[in-house]
Structure 1
Amino acid sequence: MPTFNQITTSEQLEAVIRESQEKPVLLFKHSTRCPISAGAYAQAQSYLKGSPNPDAAYALIHVVEDRPVSLEAADRLGVEHASPQAILLKEGRAVWNVSHSRITSSALQEALS
């Protein structure tokens, strides 16, 4: 089963963006202090436990603990910061994103199929 690889540095963020040149990358921005984010994270975990895209990579940024990287991701990808937020990267750029209650296992399944 795929898991989220936590991103804590600019270098790791850069590596994830580069990786999206080769395969889709789902970047999940999560607040460990927010119940809405906890629900969205549970939906993302449900997606990973179901039938996730085996050819994709999965990355996680904790928006409070790693705020500089979270803000850098928003800036680099041209996606307004939200938390929770799911961003799909392909070919080095954001091609899809949702936030808050729109993050569901089925939405992730559809976006990554």
Structure 2
Amino acid sequence: MNWIPLTSIAQLDEIAQAASAQIIFKHSTRCPVSSMAKRTVEYNWDELPENKNIYLLDLIQYREISNAIAERWQVAHQSPQVLVLQAENCIYHASHEAINVEDIAKYL
């Protein structure tokens, strides 16, 4: 299991230009609910296709990237939050306890 650190706004262009759906997990390192949601995703990681890019956004360090995501894909900022993006469209998103790997996998 390998998270891809999302550390620059330039990476959002790469995500939007990818041929297949991309996943972003927005995580607050100061929030116990976010930590629990991240552990749930990690525990169920094998339910996702092996070749999928899964980006991890540290909201404490990179809040401006979260703001750019909210503006570009028209999804209000939440924490924790998962988004499945296909080009310029957000095809699925969930936050807090609604984050479920089985649901994410349906959109890949």
The TM-score normalised by the length of structure 1 is 0.86
Measure how far apart 1:108 and its partner are. 2.7
Aligned partners of 1:41, 1:71: CA distance in 2, in Å? 20
Contact 1:16 1:59 in 2 (8 A): no
Tell me the residue number matched to 2:44. Answer: 47
Tell me the residue number matched to 1:110. Answer: 106
Moved over 3 A (4+): 109-112
Contact 1:26 1:58 in 2 (8 A): yes
Aligned partners of 1:59, 1:34: CA distance in 2, in Å? 18
Structure 1: give runs of 5+ residues left out of the alignment: none
Say if 2:105 is the partner of 1:101: no
Contact 1:46 1:105 in 2 (8 A): no
Of 57, 61, 65, 2:61 maps to 65
The TM-score normalised by the length of structure 2 is 0.89
In structure 1, give the amino acid aligned to 2:32.
P
Measure how far apart 1:56 and its partner are. 2.2
User: What RMSD, in angstroms, separates the aligned Cα atoms of the two structures?
Assistant: 1.5
Of all paired residues, the percent bearing the same amino acid is 27
In structure 2, give the amino acid aligned to 1:18.
Q
In structure 2, give the amino acid aligned to 1:16.
I
